[in-house]
Amino acid sequence: MSTNTQNSRRDFLKTLTSGGLLLGFSWLDTDAAVPVAIADLLAAEKKGFNSYLSIDTDGIITILSPNPELGQNIMTSFSMIIAEELEADWTKVKVIQAPLDTKSFDRQLTGGSGAIPHSWKRLRTAGATAKYMLIQAAANQWNLPASECSAKKGMVIHAQSGKKLSYGSLAVQAASIEVPKNVPLKDRKDFTLIGKLVKNVANKSIVTGKPLFGLDFYREGMLYAMIQRPKAFGTKIKSVDSAAAKAMPGIVDVVVFKNNVAVVGKSTWEVTKARKLLVIEYENDGGTPESTSDHNAIFSNLLDNGNVTVKRKNGDVAAAFANAAKIIKSEYQGPFLSHSPMEPMNFFAHVRPDGVELVGPTQTPASARIATSKLLGIPEDKITLQITRLGGGFGRRLKFDYVVEAAELSSIVKAPIKLIWTREDDMTGGSYRPAVRYRFEAAIDSSGNLTGYKCRGVGINSGSPTREDNFPSGAIDNLLIEAVEHKSAITTGAWRAPITNFLAFAEQAFLDEVATAMGKDPVQFRLDLLARAKSNPVGAIKYDIARMEGVIKLAAEKSGWGKKKGVSQGFSVYFSHASYVAQVCEVIMQAGKPVIKKIYAIADCGEVVNLGGARQQVMGGVLDGMGHAMYSKLTFKNGAAEQNNFNTYRLIRMKDVPEVEPHFVNNGIEPTGLGEPALPPTGGAVANAIFKATGKRLRNQPFIEDEIFKTT
Amino acid sequence: MPIFKLSINGKQYQPDVAEDTPLLWVLRDHLGLVGTKYGCGIAQCGACTVHVNGTAVRSCVLPVSSVKNSAVTTIEGLSANGDHPLQTAWDEVDVAQCGYCQSGQLMTAAALLKKNPHPSSEEINNAMQGNICRCGAYHRIHEAIKVASKKI
């Protein structure tokens, strides 16, 4: 298999040089019920079909992959699902990134761990339909009943006679077969590709440095642009002196729009240098710009006196706490984080009188186009958007601010431009994981039962800082979940596993505190709560108890929970998006300091499509969770970020990496997504293991700032 | 602007750029060699790693004027057919996720193996500590270097 960096529809059609089976599918309805076979490429162009599975006469199978690829390995997984049902020869499968096409594709975005769950049935149906037509074409040619024929590895076979025909040789005839409805799908026991370890289809292009990413896109005659944005959130431009910048070699123009001063020139370096010569004065835009020290005070005040929203209430919480023999109360705080994908924000835009061309890395191409259309007053059908490979996303590229900036700037300077954010631009002017603080309280009665539970969360532009219907809701008689929000000029956004990336740590660490106070084993404590939720649920339960029990038990088994000498283990489990992950972290003490040696991660994401890709998501998610919990924070002084690059903002590096052992629950349910769910449990497993090893509860991130890590 | 004579991947180039232009941007903007990536611009992430006379350097902070008369190798020139033992090991171990940092990871690893064909785990960690992988592919990067080292 291979990938193709070209990705326009015309280029795709050109790859079918000699005719063949071309299937256009309506991906817009759940059943993908109406595939259309097109033998004539010109007719295909005219009809505007754009969601294709094609089989060329040379047997090459080409698949258009609609969702943006940011390292979740979707191009490989999508193709595997089609190839499985199609009984394709995997070595003849070619994958092409589709451009934005909302008429042909549904949910053409990357986020929410949703691509595979959304497309699972659609892709299987696509493959099965093509297989049906190929078998029928062979049966017709042999004058034999199709029921006697089968397909394997790109061949249709008639076992009784030993006749065989390749898909390539059948492609033209197959195109004239009536497209079937309700084709049967394979039984999972017959899967030969799904669940196996299949290598990333882009490996060769990646290791040879091919131009895959947005920043690698160059167009003859394009200009380069950088924007100076306000350094402090909550400020606006007062005055701009751009004379010195404009006088620099290679600079074409300096333009001011909104709160931006854009430098446009003939090369990245010339623009970089000229931008440093801008003299811009800023003034406060309304209130006073905020600092991290203000946020600490705001958190305390809002937790005590804030106007809280009750998100869930069960039983009589006040009575449970009034009658408690023991009350445990803790607060957990998490800082702002930068997404920092390795490829900084960038986009190419060319606004012409007759339309707009956009090229670059985005997780939400459709929303980016809608916003561009609104801003420029140009209809969406006059705007094309080519999706490049994304050098990471982590949620940052769900926001399309940089796409709209590029389009606006191109419309002002009337030239094709590539807008580039530097690393500093990204870290200081981007969007952040919201800073949050949680106050947890638990009431234990005189018999040692957990009778009351409260969680009050406050977030800065967090949307909603709680997940009120998640475990342990449903397992405790008297429960109160509340949220408070602080509005700030500091812009935030969805950061991989939004909210749960910190909330899971806080909750799982607090449950560990409660288990310890009750003298219970942390694993058994959770299983007891789940047993209660199953036998006698309190209010609505919106998580799957059996699946959560499944990962807990498998984690205990795989990690040898409670049976190991010489290591301290910490446990954590979390349900996020639609999947379940339990983790056990192992810590040892070295020179008086805790060292993370190993993390077991047991995931129930339903059917694993690509074992290689799934392991990558789990291991990468664990390192993402551990790295940020341990090392990362972004602080503000007078509205400006105090860290602006990797010299002051610490990310996990190779020496920090523990062993990670992933396992998957094999329960045969349909896939439920894996891009995010492995991240949330990690902070809790790490903190709980460190508590076991040191007796110290870590409640604030990053952990590295705690005294237990300081050299004495 | 001065014209610099550069030897890159065995080919001669004569870009017309300001002398303080970092080699990274000469490669990318002027010579069409975009395999070398911009990540931080301050030599902290390793995405821009190339070889100058066989040594791994961060091209984002290396002025083009300082590489005159030097032999530069980029990811595009690491091997003729993408078959350097590290490149094949990267595929065998299925290292990449988003892939953006991998050119730099490979070039750092290639310089390591040139000096030290059979590095210990600790030596691999030390050599690779300057290269960030935001996807967290560190386990496989480490493993692939070991796999390649066995083939050399």
Asked whether the beta carbons of residue A342 and residue B134 sit closer than 8 angstroms, the reply is yes
Cα R_g (chain A), whole angstroms: 28
Residue recorded with tokens 């237990």? A708
Encoded tokens for A78: 């999508």
CB burial of residue B23 (10 Å; 0-12, 13-18, 19+): buried
> Shortest Cα distance from B17 to chain A (angstroms)?
9
**What's the CATH fold of domain B85-151?**
DNA polymerase; domain 1 (1.10.150)
Question: Which 261-290 residues of chain A touch chain B by CB within 8 A?
Answer: 267-270, 273
Please name the CATH architecture into which domain A214-285+345-420 falls: 2-Layer Sandwich (3.30)
User: Hey, do A2-207 and A307-336+432-709 end up sharing a CATH topology, with the first three levels equal?
Assistant: yes
Residue range A2-207, CATH number: 3.30.365.10
Are β-strands B55-58 and B71-73 bridged in parallel, bridged antiparallel, or unpaired? unpaired
Sign of CA dihedral B111, B113, B114, B115: positive
Q: Give CB contacts under 8 A, 24+ apart, made by A302-310.
A: A302/A458, A302/A484, A302/A486, A303/A331, A303/A437, A303/A439, A303/A456, A303/A458, A303/A484, A306/A458, A306/A484, A307/A484, A308/A456, A308/A482, A308/A483, A308/A484, A309/A482, A309/A483, A309/A484, A310/A480, A310/A481, A310/A482
Cα R_g (chain B), whole angstroms: 15
Residue segments in chain A with a per-residue pLDDT below the cut of 50: 1-18, 27-34, 42-50
Nearest to A247 by CA among A215, A218, A273: A273
Task: Select the residue of B28, B29, B98 nearest A70 (Cβ to Cβ).
Answer: B98
Chain B residues in contact with A211 (beta carbon < 8 A): 34-35
Pick the CATH number of B6-77 from 3.30.70.260, 3.10.105.10, 3.90.1640.30, 3.10.20.30: 3.10.20.30
Domain ranges of chain B: 6-77, 85-151
What is the predicted pLDDT for the residue at A40? 52
Residue segments in chain B with a per-residue pLDDT below the cut of 50: none
Asked whether the beta carbons of residue A645 and residue B35 sit closer than 8 angstroms, the reply is no
> Shortest Cα distance from A270 to chain B (angstroms)?
8
| Residues B145 and B109: beta-carbon distance below 8 Å | yes
Asked whether the beta carbons of residue B141 and residue A204 sit closer than 8 angstroms, the reply is no
Q: Using DSSP, how many helices (H) and how many strands (E) does chain A show?
A: 18, 31
Cα separation, A523 vs A583, whole angstroms: 11
Cα separation, A465 vs A483, whole angstroms: 6
The pTM assigned to this predicted structure is: 0.95
Instruction: Give how far Cα A418 sits from Cα of A210, A271, A409, A461, Å.
Output: 19, 12, 10, 30
DSSP conformational letter for A163:
E
Domain ranges of chain A: 2-207, 214-285+345-420, 307-336+432-709
Residue recorded with tokens 């003729």? B80
What is the predicted pLDDT for the residue at B137? 98
Encoded tokens for A223: 């200009």
Give the chain B residue whose CA is nearest to the CA of A644: B40
Is CATH 3.30.70.100 the right assignment for the domain spanning A307-336+432-709?
no
- Secondary structure of residue A540 in the 3-state scheme: coil
Please provide residue A111's backbone torsions phi and psi, each rounded to the nearest 5 degrees: 170, 160
Asked whether the beta carbons of residue A342 and residue B94 sit closer than 8 angstroms, the reply is no
Question: Which 581-620 residues of chain A touch chain B by CB within 8 A?
Answer: 612, 616, 619-620
Our CA dihedral for A491, A627, A576, A552, rounded to 10 degrees, sits at -160
Nearest to A429 by CA among A335, A334, A342, A344: A344
